[in-house]
Structure 1
Amino acid sequence: MSLEPHPARPSVLISAAMSVDGHIDDAAPERLLLSSPEDFDRVDALRAAYDAILVGAGTLRADDPRLEVRDEARRAARVARGLPEHPLKVALVGHGGLAADLRLWQSGGAKLVLAPDAAVAGLRAELGERAEVVGTGAGLDPARVLDALAARGVRRLMVEGGGAIQSLFLTAGLVDEIQLALAPFFVGDAAAPRFAPPVAGAVFPQDAAHRMTLLGAQSLGDLVVLRYAARRADASRVTTADVDRMRLAIELSRECPASETAYSVGAVIVAADGTEIACGFSREGGDDKVHAEESALGKIDLTDPRLRTATIYSTLEPCSVRASRPHPCAELIRAAGIGRVVLAWREPALFVADCQGVELLEQAGATVVEIPALAEEARAVNAHLVSRS
């Protein structure tokens, strides 16, 4: 599949805390504290790493959050990186009725309210200069929410709640990662709000047949924090993060020792949470036969569970046949269980008459995505060979 980079798909993290029986609050008027001081600090560090924090109107009214980065050193580090002190604060609102004295309006940082088109005029009149108000169409379409955020430079979005908002993004298949803090007690109230409650007519793509991948478990006092890679419904879409990673792979390809008989290729393997697992380039380490994908895969434990939801970025279509080694790169990727492959350009018929790397990977069930917008950059590294093909 060949797609231009889509500017409107930031990566999405859902961050939540819940009781053992799945509740994110109780039914009392006062907010139930599920987290520990250590977990609050963890969440603060997460906020500092993201471009925007999103909550629903119910969370605004019930919890009255500021959505700030509390730690002064973290705020200073953001400023040193050329970022505002606080991430963009985003409220997803179905209608008006947001009190003027909410702490969000008095807190620092930019605020954005996203609402159905029919509610925009009323919210603008109600909020005045407190926040920018933008329409999302006839309803609260999460894809259009991401479009609006990407247009404002958001690449990483942290969704903090509440339950209906969690379900909105999860059932749309737009969540990359879930971080869930589990508190060691029961709420025991059927009327209490739950984490990601069912939505009429909607299906969670993370079902029993499509299990999420556990990325880690961390003990924080008497809590445990679980990290899962969620299943995305739009793996074939090119994201801004894909473009960034491919540009890194292109930079790696420039490190390749020169050759008149092989392409210069860079490869990067990235986990679902955005963590770089490994990278490599052609002829790395003085091995004039090693390919970029082979080099990257050779640096990792192939039993790493992250590989099942990882993406490998290669500046050139993975090879389907080769004379120098027993296994071509398409076969190595398939054996590693990597289910998503992003490439910049197809292999021309110079050394191999008809490379079938894409076809082999797709036959094995992998999603293969091309970024034609970066093909010329990847080809330029191999200009001396391209002119011969």
Structure 2
Amino acid sequence: MTRPYVLLSAAVSLDGYLDDTGPERLLLSGPADFDRVDEVRASVDAILIGAGTIRADNPRLLVNSPERRAARVAAGKPEYPLKVTVSASGGLDPDARFWHTGGEKVVYTTDAGAERLSRTGIAADVVPLGPALGWRPLLEHLHDVRGVRRLMVEGGGTVHTQLLQQQLADELQLVLAPLFVGDSKAPRLFGPGTYQGGRLRLVETRAIEDVVLMRYEPTAPGTGQETSPADRHWLRLACELAVRCPPSSTAFSVGAVVVDADGTELARGYSREAGDPVVHAEEAALAKIDPADPRLAGATVYSSLEPCARRSSRPRPCARLILDAGVRRVVTAWREPDTFVEGADGAGLLVDQGAEVVVLPEFEARAKEPNRHLLG
């Protein structure tokens, strides 16, 4: 699926609550962090909140800084990001501030919810997704129809939970406030259920007045043809490794990473690594792993170029090395052209032997960059 980069943003108490049960919203951070959030809002194409957040907080959801709004306009963007909400029932107050401030708004709802909203005259584009809501069609519509490439999600807890559990969040920006709520009836950030395996990757920590910002990325690969945000991270890394290859006029520059199902990197490699003029990226990476390592059976190989199916410099091509290692999932950026091997089809060999091959074409240009002298 094609979808925006999804950034989850939230502030929580030390005991994991988004708010208390008092009549006023609990402010978990201060002016400096509010300004940081404003900066992030100004950087995205759309901001999404759930219907429950509109009902509970009645937010305006604006970019408050005039300078940031002016910079958006100067860059050819709307003054405000698109404001998005989701409601299965369509039970939204048309007088809420969300609809009457900022720029364009869109509501994703069900067929029944759209019928209900049509009677309210709500000031928004109403998009029905069928008899039930689904995050994947919603994100595809935002990407393909509304042109959203970066989406900031500001809540509430149910929305954050669902996006993480469905492996649709690329980044989590979590602010930890130095206080306790201690009320079991108060809303929590994350609910029970099944999340990705393994640990998230800590990208950044930053003290902002008395709160701490922590930025995390998922690490666990997808399964089968279902991609996860981590697939994009690991393929991006493979493309970066390709840039490190010694130049060659007779072979492509390729990077590869082998990752366990829980998101643990097992090995990485790149073409012509360590001065070997004929070593391939996947070969270099797999050579660093014990062939008896049981994690290989559930691992994913990320390669910036489709693994080779035929080669003259080694007895086994990379597609065969991957299969012999027990790996049954490969993610790549582009298919091998006929530059050196006519009719190359490493993906076909892998699929014929029961492996899954996922191609992420949005990385094709990046993977081709270190090979442009070979492609004409």
User: Which category describes the TM-score, using the shorter chain as reference length?
Assistant: 0.7 to 0.9
Residue of 206, 212, 218 corresponding to 1:218: 206
Q: What letter corresponds to residue 136 of structure 2 in structure 1?
A: A
What do residues 248-293 of structure 1 show as CA deviations (whole Å, max 9, x unaligned)? xxxxxxxxxxxxxxxxxxx9527xxxxx966616534xx8899734
| 1:98 and 2:92 are equivalent in the alignment | yes
The alpha-carbon deviation at position 330 of structure 1 amounts to 1.7
How many residue pairs end up in the alignment?
327
Distance 2:172 2:68 in 1: 22
- Larger relative CO (CA 8 A, sep 6+): 1 or 2? 1
Q: For residues 367 and 136 of structure 1, what CA distance do their matches in structure 2 show?
A: 32
Task: Provide the residue aligned with 1:119 in structure 2.
Answer: 113
Q: Deviations over 1:8-54 (max 9, x none)?
A: x2222211000001000010121110112111122122222222211
Query: Using the alignment, how far apart are the partners of 1:311 and 1:114 within structure 2?
Result: 42
Residues of 2 paired with 1:67 and 1:131: CA distance? Answer: 14
Aligned to 2:138: 145
Contact 2:254 2:305 in 1 (8 A): no
Mark the CA change 1:165 to 1:241 in structure 2 (over 3 Å): closer, same or farther: closer
1:72 has 2:66 as partner: yes
Q: Quote the residue 1:355 is aligned against.
A: 317
CA distances 1:210-233 after superposition (whole Å, capped 9, x unpaired):
222222211111111111112567
| Structure 2 counterpart of 1:330, from 274, 282, 296 | 282
Give 2:129's match in structure 1, choosing from 136, 139, 151: 136
Instruction: For 2:196, give the aligned amino acid.
Output: P
Once the two structures are overlaid, the 10-residue window that deviates more, 186-195 or 230-239, is 230-239
C-alpha distance 361-169 of structure 1, shift in aligned 2 (>3 A): farther
Contact 1:75 1:85 in 2 (8 A): yes
Shift of 1:343: 3.7
The whole-number CA distance in structure 1 between the counterparts of 2:306 and 2:278 is 24
Residue 322 of structure 1 contacts residue 328 of structure 1 at CA under 8 Å; is this kept in 2?
Answer: no
1:369 aligns with 2:321: no
CA distance in 1 between counterparts of 2:31 and 2:323 reads: 46
Alignment check: 8 A CA contact 1:320 1:355 kept = no
Separation in 2 of the partners of 1:340 and 1:348? 15
Q: Match of 2:56, SS? A: helix
Deviation string 1:329-368 (CA, Å, 9 cap, x unpaired) is 2254455999661545443635447522575289476852
Which of 228, 246, 258 does residue 283 from structure 1 map onto?
Answer: 246
Could you tell me which residue of structure 2 aligns to residue 22 of structure 1? 16
Is residue 60 from structure 1 mapped to residue 28 from structure 2 by the alignment? no
- RMSD (Å) for aligned C-alpha atoms: 4.1
Q: Is the Cα contact below 8 Å between 2:18 and 2:188 reproduced in 1?
A: yes
The aligned counterpart of 1:256 is none
Task: Give a deviation string over 1:129-150, Cα, whole Å, max 9, x none.
Answer: x111112333332222212212
Q: For 2:38 and 2:329, how far apart are their aligned partners in 1? A: 35
The counterpart of 1:269, out of the listed 229, 233, 237, is: 237
Which secondary structure does the structure 2 equivalent of 1:150 belong to?
helix
Preserved contact between residue 167 and residue 196 of structure 1 (Cα < 8 Å): yes
In structure 1, stretches of 5+ residues that fail to align are 1-5, 247-266, 271-275, 298-306
Counterpart-to-counterpart distance in 2, 1:346 and 1:174: 27
More displaced stretch, 162-171 vs 143-152 = 143-152
User: What's the secondary structure of 2:243's corresponding residue?
Assistant: strand
Asked if structure 1 preserves the Cα contact closer than 8 Å seen for 2:8 and 2:154, the reply is yes
Question: For the residues of structure 2 that align with 1:311 and 1:174, how far apart are their CA atoms?
Answer: 25
CA distance in 2, matches of 1:98, 1:204: 30
3-state DSSP of counterpart to 1:180: strand
Decide whether the 8 Å contact of 1:358 with 1:368 is kept in 2: no
Number of the residue aligned with 2:153: 159
* 1:341 alignment partner in structure 2: 302
Aligned partner of 2:29 in structure 1 is 35
Instruction: Check whether the contact 1:18–1:34 (CA below 8 A) recurs between aligned residues.
Output: yes
- Is 1:182 paired with 2:182? no
User: Structure 2: 5+ residue runs without aligned partners?
Assistant: 258-262, 290-295, 345-376
Percent identity between matched residues is 37
Contact 2:309 2:318 in 1 (8 A): no
Asked if 1:84 is matched to 2:78, the reply is yes
**In structure 1, C-alpha distance between the alignment counterparts of 2:237 and 2:62, rounded to whole Å:** 33
For residues 237-276 of structure 1, what are the structure 2 equivalents within 5 Å?
A: 237=226, 269=237
Q: 1:82 to 1:113 in 2, by over 3 A?
A: same
